Copies of this chain bind each other. A is one copy, B any other.
């Protein structure tokens, strides 16, 4: 037997026709029990596996999802958001459970990769994972919708957005972070992170932070907000700018753990004690948050649940069911950088 076994090979050995083999292996009730067992035995013996290409061609589906990581600044492999990497495990596992394979890529969204994948029938749908300037890729999303591509996106969820979005409750996360800091006596909370509408996740976190302070009667000082993109360097620079400006603050709420880690380095270099002088809270609960010194108090995004919801929502779309947009809860994880322990 040269090459891989086909359903014809099995048919010949079993003394039946090829269609009977196909039906037997798919569990069709029109094949009699003994015939089915005989075919299954031969298939196993030949180590037969259904040829996915042929099967997919016939069925007009791929049983494969595509995952696209994109990051707005240079998509250097070092720059992959660790939070997304954590989510990757959950996504692959969920795909496997649902009987789907996962194709993965780190291309830029600006390439027309997304169009290719579904059109060329490599995948039945696409999962988009990325931070970045929302305005820049909004029109890409609109094009996807227009072409009726099945996709879900991880990010901030808002009315009137193109496509289906799954995200966490950034506003509530910011609210909880600020509340927690205030409960431990901090009254001057600085925010490190871009608060413009181009980075809506960060903006929502900042809004929650402001809301919590307002509820306590604290007037939010805009000077305590310093823009920062999502990198350690940006956090480092932002913290230095903040200290250098002379603005008084006794706590930092960083828009991400990555920013927080950079900020901690800068604060420590300036001789400030964490959490003695400055309490600090991050966002994401990435793995490295437990390894900082002191361990970082942060707002946890449930990456495990997020992966499941992303996959299931996408599969709903593929089955032409109504895809559910969802907002997942964010949870405060208290460690030591906030001074609560």
Contacts and interface: CB of A to CB of B under 8 A. Distances in A.
Nearest to A90: B77
Given A86-B77, A291-B261, A4 B119 contact: yes
Nearest to A294: B293
Given A80-B89, A96-B105, A119 B287 contact: no
A187 interface: no
Interface stretch (A50-58, A168-176, A205-213): A50-58
Contact of A115 (B47, B57, B104, B105): B47
A212 to B, nearest CB: 28
B102 A104 contact: yes
Interface string A75-118: 01110101001101110110010000111111100000001100
A57 B116 CA distance: 19
Interface in A41-55: 47, 49-54
A121 interface: yes
- Copies of this chain, whole number: 2
Given A261-B291, A291-B291, A92 B104 contact: yes
A266 B179 CA distance: 32
A330 to B, nearest CB: 18
A115 B49 CA distance: 9
Contacts of A106: 89, 92-93, 96
Interface of A: 4, 47, 49-54, 56-57, 62, 64, 76-78, 80, 82, 85-86, 88-90, 92-93, 96, 101-107, 115-116, 119-122, 147, 232, 261, 287-288, 291-293, 304
